[in-house]
Chains A and B, each alone.
With several copies, the nearest count.
Chain A
């Protein structure tokens, strides 16, 4: 792979990643030596710094990730604390409900139920502290499993998950449950 292509591939993958991406994983993906990948990422990071970009490519927790430049934290905080939505969207609430009733549950399982990619919504709920990673599934890729947090219980005025309303009272009938089980299987049907 050319230097140019390698740099672009690193940029693309790290841009869409939710967690820091390890050089080892990228080396596998690109079929390149891990040292070369790591050096290319470090070179990119220098380029951004030199060009005074508003973001940095940072080496964090054993991997590379994009984040905002510390010099611009004032704007980022203003953005994060903007007074836009006081309420969760329907999509976010439904996703939270799925996590609450189906925990532990993976992103892919939620996506299969909701029929759309839920990465952004899961991220939002995670960052607001309503859900958290509680483990990993055994299957291929060992996807992260999510569950609700103490904060979630607190906000809903619940002592424990056992106090959630029994979902049977809200479901139309036994057929729906069967269908639900079927759709909870990993995608790829």
Chain B
């Protein structure tokens, strides 16, 4: 189930909108994107029970592509009449499609790999090793191993294995702050401020992806009952109020949902 959006020229699921834009059935320049975001916020207001995190993150992906398409369509290019401009939308679509196709191939082959591993597991290798009476003059394997290195090896062996977390790497391939890191950051900053607008919280950020990650982090905090989110009027500032404890909260105390890829 995709998020429904409503704009003067289109009503329906957002991925259909992208499809129509890509097939040139709808001109992206005629689509105001603000109502699209309104639709998203409305969808959130209706309650998260209706939408899984997958659907919501898919919305963000599609919305990001729409924004990119529109900005490309609006910005005057060096040769506006060049027919290549026509292909811009197709490039984006093809990129998304080829990613989906490649992923599908890996998903299919992963299943085969699992079956191969299962078949291979039916044979157990011999690891009994040498008889005790064989004379071994092999070099000392512990040469260069210090107690410190041993302790580090232990720490590495028992280090918690983090579960996969969501971020929007598919929008940008630059390493960025993850949602739980942003949650951690906000959980320190918000108790100090009590109230803030989204703009204030993100004014120091330059990359769009970081702003989006802060937004997702706020949704997490809202879900955890630590903040309330409000908006005075349409297109008004997003207002955040901290309703958790007064003391800054360590992230260990916040259980952020683990998203599986």
Residues of A within 8 A of B (CB): 15-18, 55-56, 58, 60, 65-70, 73, 76-77, 80-98, 100-101, 107-109, 111-121, 123-124, 127-128, 130, 141, 143, 152, 154-158, 163-165, 167, 169-173, 175-177, 179-181, 183-186, 189
Q: B162 an interface residue at 8 Å Cβ cutoff?
A: yes
B245 interfacial by beta-carbon distance below 8 Å: no
Q: Which residues of A contact B12 (CB under 8 A)?
A: 186
Give Cα A104–Cα B12 distance, bound, in whole angstroms: 42
Q: How many A-B residue pairs have CB under 8 A?
A: 312
B141 touches A128 (CB 8 A): yes
Q: Is the CB of B142 within 8 A of A152?
A: yes
* Residues of chain A contacted by B261 (CB below 8 angstroms): 91, 94-95, 114-118, 121
Question: B16, A185: Cβ atoms under 8 Å?
Answer: yes
Partner of A66, one of B102, B105, B126: B126
Q: Which stretch of B31-39, B166-174, B193-201, B220-228 is in the interface? A: B166-174
Residues of A within 8 A of B119 (CB): 70, 157
Q: List 25 A-B contacts (CB under 8 A).
A: A65-B128, A80-B134, A87-B114, A87-B117, A93-B150, A94-B153, A94-B156, A95-B261, A96-B110, A113-B158, A119-B178, A123-B161, A124-B161, A127-B129, A143-B175, A157-B119, A165-B148, A170-B105, A172-B104, A176-B158, A177-B97, A180-B100, A180-B101, A186-B13, A189-B16
Q: Of A108, A116, A163, A181, which is in contact with the most chain B CB atoms at under 10 Å from its CB? A: A116
A interface footprint on B120-147 (CB within 8 Å = 1, 0 otherwise): 1111111111110011111111111111
A98 to B163, CA, bound (A): 18
B48: Cβ under 8 A from any A Cβ: no
Nearest CB on A from B63, distance (A): 14
Contact B124 A76 (CB under 8 A): yes
By the criterion of a CB under 8 Å from any partner CB, how many residues of chain B are at the interface?
Answer: 85
- Which residues on B sit within 8 Å (CB–CB) of A111? 167, 169-170, 173
Nearest CB in chain B to that of A157: its residue: B120
Residue of B nearest to A14 (CB): B126
| Minimum CB–CB distance for B154 against chain A, Å | 4
Q: Is B108 an interface residue (CB 8 A)?
A: yes
Nearest 4 interchain pairs by C-beta: A157-B120, A116-B261, A111-B169, A70-B122
Decide: B123 and A97 in contact? CB cutoff 8 A.
no
Q: Report whether B107 and A120 are in contact in the complex, using a CB–CB cutoff of 8 Å.
A: no
Consensus secondary structure, chain A interface: helix
A115 to B166, CA, bound (A): 9
Please state if B158 and A85 are interface contacts (CB–CB under 8 Å). no
Could you tell me the distance in whole angstroms from the C-beta of A181 to the nearest C-beta in chain B? 7
User: How distant is the Cα of A188 from the Cα of B261 in the complex, in angstroms?
Assistant: 25
Flag if A101 contacts B175 (CB, 8 Å).
no
Residues of B within 8 A of A101 (CB): 106, 109, 151, 154
Q: Judging by beta carbons under 8 Å apart, are A98 and B157 in contact?
A: yes
Q: Is the CB of A167 within 8 A of B154?
A: yes
Closest A residue to B108 by CB, please name it.
A170
Interface centre among B109, B119, B138, B146 (most CB of A within 10 A): B109
On whether the beta carbons of A97 and B109 are closer than 8 Å, the reply is: yes
Residue pair B113, A87 in contact (C-beta under 8 Å): no
Given A101-B109, A115-B261, A123-B161, is A155 in contact with B155 using a C-beta cutoff of 8 Å? no
Q: How far apart are the CA atoms of A81 and B178 in the complex, in Å?
A: 42
Instruction: Give the chain A neighbours of B137 by CB distance below 8 A.
Output: 81
What B residues does A177 contact at CB under 8 A? 97, 101
Flag whether B260 is at the interface (Cβ < 8 A): yes
In Å, the complex CA distance between A148 and B261 comes to 20
Q: B113 contacts A80, CB within 8 Å?
A: no
Q: Is the CB of A93 within 8 A of B124?
A: no
Decide if B15 is an interface residue (CB 8 Å cutoff): yes
